[in-house]
Amino acid sequence: MPRPDDLESLARIAVDCGFQLHRDLGLSLLEGAYEALLAGLI
> Tens of pLDDT along 16-38?
988 998 899 888 888 899 889 88
Please tell me the distance from the alpha carbon of residue 38 to that of residue 18, in angstroms, as a whole number.
6
Residue 41 has pLDDT above 90, yes or no: no
Helix (H) or strand (E) holding 4: helix 4-25
∠ CA 23-21-39, nearest 5°, is 170
How confident is the model at residue 27, as a pLDDT? Answer: 84
How confident is the model at residue 38, as a pLDDT? Answer: 87
- Mean pLDDT value across residues 11-19: 91
- Mean pLDDT value across residues 7-20: 92
Please tell me the distance from the alpha carbon of residue 13 to that of residue 16, in angstroms, as a whole number.
5
How confident is the model at residue 11, as a pLDDT? Answer: 93
